[in-house]
Amino acid sequence: MSDPLASRVVTGSAYSIAGSLLTWAMGATRLVLLTRFLLPADVGVAAQAMLFVGLAVRMQTMGLHDAFLQHRAPDEGLQRTYFTLRLLLLAAALAILLLITPWLVAFYPDMRGLSALIAAFAAVEALRLFPAVQSSFIARNLGFRRLAAADVAASAAMTIVAPTLAWLGYGPWALVGEAASGVVARLLVTWHWWPKLGWNTEAAAHFWRFGKALWSNSTLLYLLDNIDDFWVGLTLGRDPLGLYARAYEFAGYPRRVVAAPLLDIFVPTYARLQDDPQRLARAFFRATSLMVRSGFLFALLFISSAPHLIALINPAWLPMVPTLQLMLIYTLLDPLQAGAANLLIATGEPQRVSRARLAQVLFFVPMLLLGARLGGINGVALALNGMAALGAWLLFRAVRGRIRYSSRALWWWPTVAAVASGAALGALPLAWPTSNDGAMLAAKWVVGTLIYVGILWATEREALMRGGQMIWTLMRGRRDG
């Protein structure tokens, strides 16, 4: 008997990963060009504006997207209520933000143009509501091909618009153009449902019941992700914030290759499998296993090659290299904790995620203050790593209470491969000293990849081959192996 859901998920994974590779390539190109044409001051003031707008948007979401995905039988009434709630809450949040903007910018006297940038990014977020709603409906129906196409179209538009504006000298406004062009492109691809206002009391009650616990989790998560940027901008200033924000963006690219599309795919999948513990455990293990194996490899390669990469792009950004290397540890751990949180949310246990987020906040705030005081942006990055490690431990422990899987199979061989590859990369400059950054960058990537992949192939070959055969069978619509 065939498994249509499994086939759709695996096929969707293929589309999402293929789309992710394209968007990653275009995004990496865009990041390099923007880093070449922009200064830390440009990135710093734009990052500060995006932080304020992002907080306003986060405060009004109330977990509505996840509540919609979790609903077992969404109908037209639910869709209209979902859109109406998001529209009203977003309008209120952005109106409040614009009213208090004069008070906010008074705390940042070195950030010229911050008020105008806040207004511009707020307008982009107002427009973003429409493709966001369309994407929620598509994700609920497992329309992964269309979502992947939207990602590719948005990335292509941003890659054309943002570097062009930066090259023409528009400074931080190039980043406004980047955000706006991506939203417009995504809207054109995802549009299929004409927005209609409506209200269904029962549907609204569902969103409130599910969303009130998820709202606290969402808000805490946003604060965890961004309180460091707020503090760096407030206490260390515009240029350190630019270096810190750009280091975070560089560090985030490895996770976008595999982790981001898998996280998008498996939220609705977990919701559909919430009453089938065995298949739920299998889906979680497969997604997490791939994130662990790919995450270890990319973190290892980028940590070792970061000095050479930044020197080739623009030596003016070299002060961010130590921060970037520390950030790569965080971006390895973050998608893992996000995957565990997604499973708990999709199976109706958002309160367990909220408790973990609260523990992270209580840990992170004092460590952030101490780290910034003692080590600047590098101290902040260390505090961030500790917070991510705590969250991963708490959330994986909660998942273990919901499903069963082998921790040793998940972690052991990727860890061994990473340690062996790291030792070889550390010895490479001693065995082959060279001042050519391009040559050393290429050598580290080749050596690190060969050793890491070789160890995994030697130790997990049969499992990898069985997994490959299963994926091929499912994609052809045959029996689930």
pLDDT lower than 70: segments of the chain: 1-20, 59-63, 65-66, 69-74, 142-143, 211-214, 216-218, 220-221, 224, 256-262, 264-268, 463-464, 466-481
The pLDDT of residue 221 is 67
DSSP 87-132: HHHHHHHHHHHHHHHHHHHTT-TT-TTHHHHHHHHHHHHHHHHHHH
Query: How many angstroms from the chain centroid is the CA of residue 449?
Result: 24
The pLDDT of residue 417 is 93
The answer to whether 58 and 218 have CB atoms below 8 angstroms apart is yes
Residue 149: half-sphere exposure toward Cβ, Cα within 13 Å: 10
The pLDDT of residue 386 is 94
The pLDDT of residue 473 is 45
The answer to whether 112 and 46 have CB atoms below 8 angstroms apart is no
- 1-57 pLDDT, tens digit each: 445 555 555 555 555 566 667 887 898 899 999 999 998 999 999 999 999 998 888
The answer to whether 331 and 251 have CB atoms below 8 angstroms apart is yes
The pLDDT of residue 140 is 72
Q: Which residue has the tokens 């889906």?
A: 283
The answer to whether 2 and 477 have CB atoms below 8 angstroms apart is yes
Angle between helices 40-61 and 201-231 (to 10 degrees): 150
The pLDDT of residue 481 is 33
Tokens of 388: 């991510």
The answer to whether 262 and 339 have CB atoms below 8 angstroms apart is yes
The pLDDT of residue 121 is 97
The answer to whether 58 and 86 have CB atoms below 8 angstroms apart is no
d(CA 332, CA 358): 21
The pLDDT of residue 148 is 81
